[in-house]
A and B are shown apart, each in its own frame.
Chain A
């Protein structure tokens, strides 16, 4: 089937802008992001979806930083083995970070990419911001 596609159709859309969701420090230095809906996303995303994503992320980070029995055991074992255990075992935080990365990927695939948005894992920014990239909408039907 001879079908020509314009180059534009095949290219990744250009980045229109980026939105940064800042950390919420109201309860200390725990990793928590603001759930305030950025106005730039108003035209792209529902407020509920955004808040749900951020809230889930906050919960996951809280779980990562929680002082639970698992973290005590990990600390104790590390002391006992002169910290060599870190060579073979993944820390609790890292495990949760992997979970978060999977969650973000899942969210991107299901919710954000279809809307021309992309969530960036905050760990890449040092857990300071959640970066949401807004892509230009170059669809023909958009009437631009």
Chain B
């Protein structure tokens, strides 16, 4: 019975492709069971009670005709229920390995001269093709997603839309038949209505009449959709309300495509032919010089350099494009991170031909990419938002950034993190303001993160979260915002897994308060330590550096603003302190330097620029706060970006470079200086997660047990105590 087996969602059934099984939820089967019961039950009663008289009195063709229609209805119903709607298998990790938080949330493609946005799906880990949507019920991306139909307990997509449409048509016809012939029977037996046959016929007529209205309405609706070449999803979300539908090819062609196009293949559950390919060197080369060969083969770094330049160009392109919604971004930083090998990622290829993409980044936490130093380089470019908002000193940021990377090549395991830091820094330099905020903070955050934690991939999410949350611009559909919502979790654990990011991504981007916790995760790295030294001469009024998130040491003991500067905080601080350069702050220091301690979650609205004054300190007396506190309220950090202001995003001040190289270049800013409040959340989290992977050597570790404790309110509403 369809109802029973309705549980088999048309998803891939075990096959090599990865579409995860849906959890068993009995409530999902209620509508489909009811539909099946009504359909089969009523029709059976009709055939048993009404049809014998009809075949005798009128014609025997009637039951036959009704049987054919009923079988057709049932066949389409079964196909709509059990057929795979066109589920995309999850992308394998290596497909987006180079996509980290730098990548934008949306990519735009031009389809017949019309711009169509492709959104990053954090669950499935690819950019959704046009017309594809992720079904939350089935937890799958479906091609040409129409809707999820509870009556068949399946998504309706490319492969089974035809059957669904035919089911509706045939069901409407069947209902009309049953009702009509039942009416004929009743009219002929109106003086014998007390017989069971008549009673049953009347009952069947009632059921038919009851279902006729919604079914016919839905059928009419879908006839219009088919004629217009739209999906239910597009119609309901009003995608083409004011514009032109790029997918329509004319009424007749639309209809013929729906009804007559070849059945599309399944993507999941396919038998994979094992390619037993013998691939052994030496390989043929198309006239390469020996030097080129060597360069290419030898070193990841070299390759990365090439990549970085390429990615930079792609970033430039993106950056320029993303500025359409924001003030013109500051000059792009010079990305020269040795580890960035992003150019040839999926996205870069998409970018190359695509029109400007809104600056929404998907700040995904970097995956571990061993041997790749992606650190970011491209990322900062993407932080246009932040950059644009802030006045800049992107150059400073950049410069600070770069040295730090170079100085710590080894730590580039979390290349992404580093990159993030860089980006963050850039953002930090500028004031995180409004729209730029998210971008900026993210950038800033990433910068900070990058500073210290190469190992902590999770940090990359930090920046993004910072950006997102600080920016408070809900419109910024940063992928990272989504992902970062769950912030702290990622930061706290070293090397967070993809799942944590997915969960982040699944949250609404409006959640400006990406958990700062993620930002707070400190990680040890030599960079930070060196940075910490740099930070020591921080001036008290140095705006808080978003970058600071990282490093408690960086925050230099001397200034009250020591400690982390969460991107948010820094954003706030930066806002207040113009012109303060972001310094690459080694954001997270070793875990035992938890900078911030979440004191109490505040309402999001409580965040405000004034909070900027709070400094996040990571140092010293901040014993590693349990990450739990940080992660405590990802929820609290909710989306309110409210924290006003701009500072959030971008004021991530870069604490003195990780490597100390940045130091001289930038004014060391106390981590989390003023702006602390907003960013507090970010920093707070910091201390943590990383189990001091690297002993803090150089640094500054001397956390200076500081004087007072300042409360910093993070963007998310979490208050952190920072010991000064």
Contacts and interface: CB of A to CB of B under 8 A. Distances in A.
Contacts of B146: none
A12 B283 CA distance: 13
A93 B278 contact: no
Contact of A93 (B166, B262, B284, B296): B262
B288 A43 contact: yes
Contacts of B352: 36
A43 B292 CA distance: 8
Given A28-B112, A29-B131, A143-B290, A125 B95 contact: yes
A123 B280 contact: no
A93 B265 contact: yes
Given A13-B279, A38-B349, A129-B95, A45 B286 contact: yes
B13 interface: no
A87 interface: no
B138 interface: no
Interface stretch (B189-197, B252-260, B381-389, B404-412): B252-260
B579 interface: no
Given A29-B247, A143-B290, A65 B279 contact: no
B75 A83 contact: yes
Nearest to B281: A139
Nearest to B144: A29
A72 B283 contact: no
B282 A137 contact: yes
Contact of B349 (A34, A44, A71): A34
B577 to A, nearest CB: 42
A51 interface: no
A71 B262 contact: yes
B324 interface: no
Contacts of A40: 343-344
B316 to A, nearest CB: 16
A90 to B, nearest CB: 10
Given A118-B279, A124-B17, A43 B285 contact: yes
Nearest to A47: B286
Task: Point out which of B17, B249, B261, B353 has the most chain A C-beta atoms below 10 A from its C-beta.
Answer: B261
Contacts of B288: 43
Interface string A108-123: 1100011110101101
A123 B272 CA distance: 9
Contact of A75 (B71, B260, B270): B260
B450 to A, nearest CB: 22
Interface stretch (B54-62, B86-94, B612-620): B86-94
A28 B283 contact: no
B246 A28 contact: yes
B75 A82 contact: yes
A128 B92 CA distance: 12
Q: How large is the interface on A (under 10, 10 to 19, 20 to 34, 35 or more residues)?
A: 35 or more
A139 B297 CA distance: 11
B112 A27 contact: yes
10 contacts: A20-B344, A27-B112, A36-B352, A38-B344, A39-B344, A115-B285, A123-B270, A142-B293, A143-B290, A143-B293
A91 interface: yes
A100 B297 CA distance: 31
A139 B286 contact: no
B111 A26 contact: yes
Q: How large is the interface on B (under 10, 10 to 19, 20 to 34, 35 or more residues)?
A: 35 or more
A113 B262 contact: no
B116 interface: yes
A16 B304 CA distance: 12
A143 B134 CA distance: 49
Contacts of B71: 82
Contact of A142 (B78, B95, B246, B297): B297
A137 B282 CA distance: 7
A22 interface: yes
Nearest to B267: A126
A17 B94 CA distance: 9
A91 B262 contact: yes
Task: Point out which of A25, A113, A138 has the most chain B C-beta atoms below 10 A from its C-beta.
Answer: A25
A91 B664 CA distance: 68
Contacts of A94: 265
Interface string A73-85: 0110011001100
A25 B130 contact: yes
Given A19-B344, A137-B293, A97 B265 contact: yes
B641 to A, nearest CB: 33
Interface in B318-363: 341, 343-346, 349-350, 352-353
Contacts of A36: 349, 352-353
A128 B344 contact: no
A30 B570 CA distance: 47
B279 A135 contact: yes
B293 A113 contact: no
B574 interface: no
B95 A71 contact: no
A92 interface: yes
B273 interface: yes
Task: Point out which of B79, B110, B262 has the most chain A C-beta atoms below 10 A from its C-beta.
Answer: B262
B126 interface: yes
A118 B294 CA distance: 21
Contacts of A143: 290, 293-294
B261 A71 contact: yes
Contacts of A65: 261-262
A67 interface: yes
B277 interface: yes
A29 B310 CA distance: 28
B304 to A, nearest CB: 11
Contact of A123 (B72, B267, B282, B343): B267
Given A78-B263, A115-B283, A142-B293, 10 more contacts: A67-B260, A79-B72, A83-B79, A91-B265, A113-B279, A114-B284, A124-B272, A126-B89, A140-B282, A144-B298
Contacts of B91: 125, 128
Task: Point out which of B16, B280, B310, B350 has the most chain A C-beta atoms below 10 A from its C-beta.
Answer: B280
Contacts of A126: 17, 88-89, 143, 267
A136 B299 CA distance: 11
B129 interface: yes
B349 A25 contact: no
Task: Point out which of A126, A140, A142 has the most chain B C-beta atoms below 10 A from its C-beta.
Answer: A126
A31 B178 CA distance: 43
Contacts of A23: 129
Contacts of A140: 282
A34 B346 CA distance: 12
A63 to B, nearest CB: 10
Given A94-B265, A116-B279, A25 B111 contact: yes
